[in-house]
Each structure stands twice: as structure tokens, then as C-alpha cells.
Structure 1
Amino acid sequence: MNARRAAGGDRLDTLPGAPALPVRPAEPGARPRFARRTARLEPAQWQALRAEAARRGLTPTAVLLAAYGDALAAWSGQGRFAITLTLFDRPPVHPDVNLVVGDFTSLLLHEVDRSRPGTFADDASEAQRTLFRDLDHREFSALETLAEKSARSGATESVPVVFTSALGLTDPLGGEHDLDWMGNPVYGISSTPQTWLDHQVIEQHGALLLQWDVLENVLPADEADQAFSGYVDRARRLADEAEEWDTPRPAGPSAAGRSSPTGPPHRESAGTGTGETALPLHAGAAEPPLFLIHPSGGDVLCYGELVGLLADDRPVVGLTDPALTGGVGPADIPALAEHYLDAVRQHQPHGPYLLGGWSMGGTLAHEMACLLERRGERTALLLMIDSNTPDRIRTLHGQGASQAVAAVRYLHSLAAFLDLDLGFGPAEEAELLDRTGDDIRRAVTQRLRDAGLLSRRDTADTRLRVFERHLRILGEHRAGHLSDPTTRLLLVRAALPSPHNSGVGMGVDDAPDLSRLGWDGHVRGPIHEVVVEGHHYSLLTGDAAKTIAEHLNRTLAALPHPLRQPSDAATSDLT
């Protein structure tokens, strides 16, 4: 893992954000509304495009990726940005891997650069070189890349503009095919709510299908129509006019176009302040989605490995603290839970719900379930990963010393989770505890830069403020009671003490003497407790994550299907 992090580290400092498309605030409570634009290159025209690409030593995917990049550059007014690539990848782990039916997709980040003058042929060649480089690093996924970038910048980032190529797929027998084996498409639409734009290229009956699925709650439909029309016209000219490949293109803007230098504008979210709250961790068609709430610190990208081990085709949505994405974080646990429920309803207006989280995330999931119950809604499953009862957490009070204590705990949590030596021993801890105010944040920022976790232009200020707020509101919170006897609790408990922050009153190893981490009096439904070999900070990686995923997969599979509202649910479902 450290080798992969090092391999991708140099790229993170220069990787741009998503294209700054004209995002508008989504209406609170509105369901995501996608609309599809479709065009078709007939077999003769598609063959002409492929032949010209082959003559220039280019793959069709690289050509269409370059044309898509041109369309996004024109729409956003940017010269440099990143998009997400969907890769269909079956790793050669077994001779019969092609006979396995399952989800073999992975996500990569692809950089587009139009900041220098050139021709389309130049851009397509560069797209192909970059694509091959991306494929060489496909084990370092988009999710992991964003997690690393998030750790360095102090802001949770997403790249919600997607390119999916189904060209050149092979069937289970190993032969080239189009998608006829799936039947004739009657209707289709991608519907991941935190994706703004998803472009798919598909070959069928010898023709090329070009499809844009646009989130029209967020992107203006008329501008999307214009951008799509320009893209399709460009693809047809590339097929029909050889000179189109070599026409000079001026340099695009090297700055951020419509956006600020730090990336795309953030959408208005429901609840307190602005900033993204719900981030997709996995796309899927099964219902209902699984919502995973952040631990202390606010980030949800820590769930990447666990989510990748889940067996069913279920959407997984992470709920992150809005302060990490340019918004304002609510000041107590109930207000934070209300904020997240507003975001949840945009994905799923009514229950039953599947809620969970690690550490603080489990406490928030429980509070959200209590709030839902008061409104007549049901939570079918709570997943709590080493979440101690908040009754054992001690409050951070005041300024000065509390900031220093929070900073010490933050550095210890990073070291334990990442399994890194930050050079932060007792002497360094004592020195940091003597600091105050901005001096604390400067010291933490410098230590993270020295460890390669922050670039020279980024700071730890936002992360520290969020982490301190979370410790404070956890200490002030007292868990309510969930009286629904049909809500299942999957409770994961670490078998080993943590190497850092153990028993200090922040929710790590604070309830070793309590049955079921102190949650017996706060739930009425069945509790399945799983003790996992590992410590608090190691549960989301390696063998521990596999064990948790196995139990979660079994629990999800055992839920009644379809899930029902309380009036229809039977106690017999719990056996």
C-alpha cells in the first residue's frame, strides 16, 4: 500500500480537479433527474473513423476520449481538468476468470490538458499516452487517489464527470462482440446522484452509440444540449474530413475557467451551509442504497476498501462533513444527523434505510435512525464499526489547550490508520501541547508536509477544525433509544487495543468493560456482535475489512426482500 501511495504521490500535487461546469444549486428534497442525449454514427461512418484512427496509430477509445475532453474544455472554459474513467477490468487471478459473472469495473482519474496549442491528432495521441499511463496505475483507483488528495488538501473532492467506453469488450468466450447478447435496449439511464455527466460509448450492430446522461437538477439542459451537439458534430467531422485531425487549435486557459483555483464550484446542499454532503462510493442497481457516515474528521474515503469487498449490486453513498467541501458543519450531533437525513432523502425519499459507519459514523447512524423513528420511518439495518457508546467520551472544552489536545489526537489517528511513522513521539507531543492558536495548525501542517501527506501549497487547517469540532460534539452527545424491534444491529468490535488514542475518552477503546460497547440499552432489535482481529484503526483494511465485509454481505442477503415499512414488517423476519 505504501509503495502504491508513493507511486501516485508525485501526480497528486499537479492533478487538476473536475471541469468547472456551470453547476447550479439543487433544490432541497428534489430527487436526482437524469436525462439522456443519444446520437449514432452509422456503420460506414464509424468504420471510417476507426480506419483514420488506426492509420495514425490510435485506438477508437483514445479518439473519443480526446473529443470528449475538447467538448468539456469548451463548455467549462478550462484548459486543464480531470475526468473519471470507468474501466472494465478482470484481473488474471484465475484461468477461468472470464467465466465469472460479477462487477469487474474500476474507476480511474484521467487528466485532460488543453492549455497548450496543438491539433486534434496531438490531443488524441496525448489522450492515448495518458490512458496507458492511467492503466499502468489502475491498482491505485480513483477513490484512493481522491483519498490521498483529500488528505493533502484538507477538502473532500470528487470528479463527477465520467467517461465509460464499452468498445473492445470481450465476452465470456473471449471473442470480440458488440452488446447484442444483452438484447435490444428499450430504455436506459445512468442514475448515480452525485455524477453530473456520464458519457458512454457503445458499439452495436456495427454502429457507434454516443450517450450523455446529464443530471439536469444541476447542469443546465440547454447548455448540455449545445455541448453534446458540438461533440457529435466533431466526431462526425473526424470520420468524414481528414483535415479535421490536423487543424491547429489555440491554447485553452491554463487557469480554472469558471471556477476558483482550487477546483469546481460546490453545489448547494440541503441543510446547514453549502458544500457537498453525499458522495458516491459505489454505483449499483439494487435497492435500497447503503449509507456510510464519516468517522471523526469527516472523510468517507476511508471506506473504499470495505466497499470494494461488498458482494451485491447495491449503491453505497458516503456522507461527509459539509465543512470539508466548502460548507458549514452543524454544531451538535442531532443537527448533523438532520443535515445528513436531508441528503439521504435526495437519494431515497422513504425507508426502510440501511445506515452505518465506523467510530463516530456509527454514533451518527444510530442518531439518524432515532430521528427517523420519531417520524414514522424505519431503519432496517444499523452497521456500527467499533463505535463506543458516546457516554464514555469526554468533552473538549474552550480554546487553546483543547486545540492542542485535538491536534495531538489527530496526528496519532493518522499515524495509526495509515500505519506510518510521523516522527511524533513523546517529546514532539509535549512540544505541540505547549503551542496555541495558529501556531498549532502551522506545526501540524509542517509535520504532514514533511511526511509527504500535504503539498507545499496545502494546509491542515480545515481538517483540524473539523476534527476538533467532532471530538467536542461527541463528548456532549448522549445516545437516544431506538425502540423499533425490527431494526437489526451489526456491531463490529476490535479485538486488540489501538496503538494510539486508546482509552483517552475520544471513542477509541473507551468501553472495554461494557457489553456490546455499551449499546444494549439504546436499541431494542437484534444485535449481532462480531469481534474482528485488529485494532480500531486497522478495521477498514486488509483481513479485518474482509471479515467485516463477509458479515455485512450475509446480513444484507438475509434482509427481507423487498424491505417493507413497519406496518408490513413481521417479527418473524428477524429469525
Structure 2
Amino acid sequence: LGKNRPFYGLQSVGLYGNEKPVSTIEEMAATYIQALQEIQPNSPYYLGGWSMGGVVAWEMAQQLQAAGQEVALLALIDSYAPRKSELELDETSLANSLAADLGGLFGTELPLTQLNLEQLQPQEQLQQIFNAAKRLNLLPPEVDIEQMHHLFQVFQANRVAIANYQPQPYSGKVALFCASSTAEDRGWNSITKGELKTYTIPGDHYTMMRSSHVQTLAQQLETYLNQQHTC
């Protein structure tokens, strides 16, 4: 995005066990706004997030607007608007989803199936995922099984938060960046009351965030920002 556009990332609460994970989107958004305003107390704000992060960014934008702050950009990166549905929140389904996410993020499928995991106790399931991820070098050397437990607790809290969140209509500008692998509607059109522009990025939900596809994403985002500044 260039040297003149500093970029800050926000980390899930509870990853290191020093705090309890947050289990509502509203509380996540409020927590991240507090962190954001330690760096930049006043608007305009440029927000964005990938996957579930886009949902949290949506709620952050809502809360900031309600507080009288300007949100100059809300970028949703292959994020889906939550729909009322019965999510599988049992530990085996969650463990299987965590394994699939780890494999997707690093481009290597873990040699585990839900059927394999169903035959194990919850602690054993997590140990198997940890062992498989370590063998494939998907986790940094310093990550141990205790850290894996914290990761799973955050993952579980995130799924609960998404299952219980109902996004409200938003009146600001939204840029939606969709992976080219699926033309599926992400569900934001009906609740976006302001401008919504959609861009297609090569790859799937995971590979769009890797080189070189992420370079395309950065270029598209930079083009969008430059267009907004000239309007």
C-alpha cells in the first residue's frame, strides 16, 4: 500500500492465555476500537478484515459511526455476512474445522478426518492436530501444546460469536474483495445502504492472501483508495 499508508494488524484476545477469549462480535469490535484509538484517537478511519475479520470490521464501523467518527473505508476481504443458522459447535466439529483452517492457511492439508477425530477424546483430538501441524512445519517452533489449547479456545469463541451476531445495515462506503474461485453472493448487498464496490481477486479463500495473489489484492485496494481521494 506504500510507505505513506501505515498498516496495523489486530490480534485476537486470549491467544496467549493471559486473557479470556471474547465471545461476541460487539465486544471484539469495542476492544479493537480501543486499541485502534491508542494509535489514532480521531477519524477518519480505514478499516478492513479478511474472513471473520471483515465481520468484526463491519461492527467496528457501526460503533465508530454511532460515536460520531468518520469511517472512510470498510474493506471486506472474502467475508460472508453471518446468516441465522445452526452451526456445528461440538468439540469434534470445531477441531475438524480448526484442522481444515490450518491446512488452508498454509496450503497443506492435515492428514486428519472428522471420522479419525471422532474416535478420540477432546484433549487427544487437539494433540493429534498439534502433532500433524508440527510434522508439516505449519507452526512456529516456539508454539507448544498449551499455546494450541489457547488457539482452540479463541477459535471456539469466534465460532460462537459469529453464530450469535446479526449485522445491522451500514450507510458508509464498502469495498468487497472476493476470491475468484466462487461467485457465491457474500450477503452484504441487502444490508449495505451506502456505496458497495466489488472486486475479484485470483485464488480461493486462502490463496488470495498468499503471494502473488495478495499483491493483486494490495494493488486493487490501493487503486480504490486513490480513487476515493480524487473524488
TM-score normalised per structure 2: 0.90
CA deviations over 1:431-482 (Å, ceiling 9, x no partner)? 1023333222222222222223344971121111111211121111111111
The alpha-carbon distance between structure 1 residues 405 and 312, as it changes in their structure 2 partners (threshold 3 A), is same
* Matched-pair contact (CA < 8 Å) for 2:48–2:76: yes
Secondary structure, aligned partner of 1:317: coil
Query: What does the per-residue CA deviation read over 1:258-279, in whole Å, with 9 as the maximum and x for residues that have no partner?
Result: xxxxxxxxxxxxxxxxxxxxxx
User: What is the alpha-carbon root mean square deviation over aligned residues?
Assistant: 2.1
State how far apart, in whole Å, the 1-side matches of 2:49 and 2:168 are. Answer: 17
1:36-92 CA-to-partner distances (Å, cap 9, x unmatched) read xxxxxxxxxxxxxxxxxxxxxxxxxxxxxxxxxxxxxxxxxxxxxxxxxxxxxxxxx
- One-letter amino acid of the structure 1 residue matched with residue 91 of structure 2: Q
For 1:237-252, what aligned pairs fall within 5 Å after superposition? none
Residue of structure 2 in register with 1:430 after alignment:
115
Q: In 1, are the aligned partners of 2:23 and 2:160 still within 8 Å (CA)?
A: no
Aligned position for 2:214? 545
| Alpha-carbon distance between aligned partners in 1 of 2:85 and 2:55, rounded to the nearest angstrom | 12
The total of aligned residue pairs comes to 227
The equivalent residue for 2:151 is 463
- Map of 1:452 onto structure 2: 137
- Retained in 1: the 8 A contact 2:46–2:71? yes
Conserved in 2, the CA contact under 8 Å of 1:333 and 1:364? yes
SS class of match (1:536): coil
For 2:53 and 2:143, locate their aligned partners in 1 and report how far apart those are by CA, in whole Å: 30
| Alignment pair present for 1:405 and 2:93 | yes
Larger Rg: 1
Consecutive unaligned residues in structure 1, runs of 5 or more? 1-309, 498-510, 562-572
Report the CA distance shift for 1:396/1:335 in structure 2 as closer, same or farther (over 3 A).
farther
Instruction: Return the alpha-carbon distance in structure 2 between the equivalents of residues 456 and 334 of structure 1.
Output: 32
Q: Deviations over 1:509-567 (max 9, x none)?
A: xx92x3xx111122222111012221101111123212211111112222338xxxxxx
- 2:14 corresponds to which residue? 323
Aligned to 1:414: 102
**Structure ranking higher in strand proportion:** 1
The C-alpha deviation readout for 1:407-443, integer Å capped at 9, x for no partner, is 111111121221114223xxx4301023333222222
Confirm or deny: 8 A CA contact 1:329 1:336 kept in the other structure. Answer: no
Counterpart of 1:380 in structure 2 is 72
More helix per residue: 1 or 2?
A: 2
Q: C-alpha distance in 1, partners of 2:27/2:103?
A: 30
Regions of 4+ moved over 6 Å: none
* Distance in structure 1 (CA, Å) of the matches to 2:178 and 2:3: 24
**What is the identity percentage for the equivalent residue pairs of Structure 1 and Structure 2?**
26
Compare relative contact order (CA 8 Å, sep 6+) and give the higher one, 1 or 2.
Answer: 2
Normalised by the length of structure 1, the TM-score is 0.38
Partner residue of 1:524? Answer: 193
Q: In the aligned structure 2, how far is the partner of 1:394 from the partner of 1:388?
A: 16
Unaligned 5+ runs, structure 2 = none
2:223 is the alignment partner of 1:557: no
